[in-house]
Structure formats: C-alpha cells, structure tokens
Amino acid sequence: METEKLRVLFLCTGNSARSQMAEALVNARMGGRWQALSAGVAPTGGVNPLAIRALSETGIQHEGESKHVNMFLEEDFDLVVTVCDDAAENCPVWLGKGKRAHLSFPDPANIGGTDEEKLNAFRGVLDDISVKIPALLDEQERDFQAKGSTLKR
C-alpha cells in the first residue's frame, strides 16, 4: 500500500525566489514523501531568473509560476511555512488546514552589485534553504508519525 505524501505550502511576499526555491528543492529531493507548492501574499507574476539559475546549478529544473496565497485557502496542507518576515506578518493567521511554521531567509532579489554578486546571493539563500527546509520537514514528519497521523487527514 502506497503512503500518501505529506503536503507543504511555502509562502513569501512575491513568490518569485525563496518560496519557489523551497518548492523546487522539496519536490526534487524529498518528492517521495512530500508534495510542495508555493505562493505569495503579493505575487510578482514570475519566477526570478536568478532563482531558476541557482536551482539549475544544483541539478534542479524548475518551471514555477508566481501564485497568490488565496488560490490555496480551500486546500489542505500538513504544513504551511512562511519563508520571509513580510509574509509572516501579512499572513498571521492561516485560515486553511495545516500546522504553521516560520523560517526567515533574506530576499536575494534585494542584493545589489554585479550580476555575479546577485547570483551569489541567490546561491547563498538556496544553500541555507537546502539545509533548513529538509531539517524542518524531517522534524515535522517525525512529529506526525509519533502522533499516528497527519493533520489534514
């Protein structure tokens, strides 16, 4: 019998970098256990090309689109993770089903400098996401297993 995947929603302001990178990373590296989606409280309409480039350098291909959090209010998630302080402040109460967590990552799109310096900012945030997000999801999975079920089912 196949186990149903746990579902996680990553939220940030524009849904163009941090939440997109978290979604892509989880689906690529933890996709056997988790299904990840992402959204923003003020979506930009697209994914930052530097986020796509940083992901592709790690072997992750991602073709996301920037989505508004309201698209997901009726859906059930096991976990909803805000990945920036602005999203945490602007989405203080998740009205849908699912436990809520917050991990703050700096917005790499706010870094100035040369193209290489900007790309390095995206690489650095992706490296941080690559460590902290899997650790959080592993912890949540252990917690769900200890309770004998997930929150949404």
Residues taking part in catalysis? 12, 84, 91
CA–CA gap between residue 39 and residue 15 (Å, rounded) = 5
Residue 98 host element (H or E): strand 97-102
Q: Angle formed by the axes of helices 18-29 and 115-147, to 10°?
A: 60
Question: Is 69:42 a contact under the CB 8 Å cutoff?
Answer: no
- Tell me which residue of 62, 1, 5, 2 sits closest to 32, measured CA to CA: 5
Residue 49 is encoded by which pair of tokens?
């090309």
